Amino acid sequence: MKPGLIALILASLIAACGVPAPAAPSVDPLHGQYSATGGGGALPAVQALTARFKELHPGVAWIVTETGSDAAISLTTSGNVDVGFISRDLKETEKTKVNALSIGFSGTAVVVNVSNPVTNLTRDQVRRIYLGEITNWSEVGGNNEAIRPFMREPNAATRTSFESYIFGSTKPTYAKAVTEIFEVEATFSAVTSFRGSIGIATTGARTGQETKLRMISIDGIAPTPENLADRSYKIERPLYLVYPADPSQVKPAVQMFLDFAKTPQGQQIAAAAS
């Protein structure tokens, strides 16, 4: 008897005996690859949230990149990424393009070269350094060494939060000695290269892992996770996930991710990572 005929007969016998055929494996409806991009201040929180969401939904894969808060808005609006993340409040012109979901706060730290003995500055001292009124570390309890101040570019969220707290509503006129630099890596390179340097950077693991620079206290309050959580450290900025304002443009998996981020567990994960 031919093998094909035997298989047909066996299949008929199984069907006649009422034995069900094996069920096809179910496919995770969320299965797929999704993208998230945005500002570095929110990056650790988003990485932690997407990692936990993947554990809950193994069929989901995330590509998470850092491109800046402005780019996050633009790329989310255009549909080039599935979800964005920002470390500032939405501008009025952006509120019709995207919705925002709060995932806590991040801090902006004042950083110095690790060889600098200064561990604390007052708000007024920082202000006067960047205005050029204090030019030597010996004036604030440090070594007899010229201060070399660095500042991020105007649209950086770190700079916005720094200026808001240090200068209030007054637009600062920075001293000629202040060097403007772009991106966090350039900040790390500058501050670690010059003994008399001072700059700003996002608080968190990335900055904390730099062994050649140190975050300092402001008015006696260090930029620790605990002081950020209870809002006692004042140079802070809000963190948000952003997604299309049109609900039809939000993919089902992204909506589930946003719903997860709203939960107490999601909020706790974001807070612990920031």
Q: Which amino acid is at 189?
A: S
Q: Are residues 114 and 196 part of one domain?
A: yes
What pLDDT shows up at residue 10? 45
Q: Are residues 135 and 167 part of one domain?
A: yes
Query: Does residue 21 lie within any of the structural domains?
Result: no
| pTM higher than 0.85 | no
CATH of the domain at 36: 3.40.190.10
Stronger pLDDT, 202 or 167, i.e. the higher one:
167
Distances, alpha carbon 269 to alpha carbons 46, 52, 60, 266, in Å:
9, 8, 18, 5
Least confident of 9-13, 49-53, 70-74, 97-101: 9-13
Q: Kindly indicate the confidence band of residue 272, based on its pLDDT and cuts at 50, 70 and 90.
A: confident
Q: How many domains does the chain have?
A: 2
Q: What is the pLDDT of residues 169-196, one digit of tens each?
A: 899 999 999 999 988 889 999 999 999 9
Residues 214-218: what's their mean pLDDT?
97
89, 273, 103, 100 alpha-carbon torsion, rounded to 10°: 60
Angle at 15 (CA atoms; ends 12, 18), nearest 5 degrees:
150
Domain that holds residue 225: 107-236
Strand partners, 199: 111
Q: Are residues 252 and 215 part of one domain?
A: no
Q: Are residues 209 and 92 part of one domain?
A: no
68 φ/ψ sector (left φ>0, alpha ψ -120 to 50, else beta): left
Stronger pLDDT, 171 or 25, i.e. the higher one:
171
